[in-house]
């Protein structure tokens, strides 16, 4: 466990997360190792689990919609801070995500709606309810 644990620690210190799917995109084998740990958590030695807990390993599966919010919202916030608006015009995954929210294809919570409102993100007709 030493080498993979060290890689996980370095990843956490660099990126602030250990999300298995995001890790898998950057380092496939490390992502698989983290997934194996998640699957073995109920029969894991407490000391081993404590080491992973110290790295903020997410034991519960994160739903895809929540993952996309956690990934894209900070990017949208940075875009708004840099440009003063949320009209992402260049072709990008961020633009697609914003368009899907505006079209109602992504379900958002009231808290998330409030965060978008704070950035003055127009949700179009959905706001007229």
- 3-state SS of 46-104? HHHHHHHHHCCCCCCCCCHHHHHHHHHHHHHHHHHHHHCCCCCCCCCHHHHHHHHHHCC
- For residues 95 and 122, state if they share a domain: yes
Host domain of residue 42: 2-54
- For residues 72 and 124, state if they share a domain: yes
Classify residue 108: in a domain, yes or no: yes
Classify residue 87: in a domain, yes or no: yes
- For residues 68 and 121, state if they share a domain: yes
- For residues 69 and 42, state if they share a domain: no
Walk along the chain (129 residues) and give the pLDDT tens digit of each residue: 589 888 888 888 877 777 776 777 778 888 888 888 888 888 999 998 898 888 877 776 655 656 688 888 999 999 999 999 988 888 888 898 888 888 888 778 888 889 999 998 887 644 333
Counting the structural domains of the chain, the total is: 2
Rounded to two decimals, what is the model's pTM?
0.49
Distance CA 79, CA 18 (A): 24
Distance CA 65, CA 63 (A): 6
| Sign of the four-CA dihedral 110, 111, 116, 118 | positive
Classify residue 59: in a domain, yes or no: no
- For residues 73 and 112, state if they share a domain: yes
Predicted local confidence at residue 76, as pLDDT: 93
Predicted local confidence at residue 77, as pLDDT: 93
- For residues 109 and 71, state if they share a domain: yes
């Amino acid at each position: 466990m030493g080498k993979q644990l060290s890689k996980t620690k370095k990843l956490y210190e660099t990126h602030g997360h250990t999300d298995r799917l995001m890790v898998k995109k950057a380092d496939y084998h490390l992502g698989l190792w983290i997934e194996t740990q998640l699957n073995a958590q109920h029969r894991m030695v407490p000391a081993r689990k404590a080491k992973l807990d110290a790295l903020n390993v997410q034991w519960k599966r994160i739903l895809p919609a929540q993952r996309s919010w956690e990934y894209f919202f900070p990017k949208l916030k940075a875009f708004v801070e840099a440009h003063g608006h949320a009209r992402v015009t260049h072709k990008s995954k961020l633009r697609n995500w914003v368009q899907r929210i505006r079209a109602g294809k992504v379900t958002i919570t009231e808290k998330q709606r409030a965060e978008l409102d704070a950035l003055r993100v127009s949700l179009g007709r959905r706001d007229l309810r």
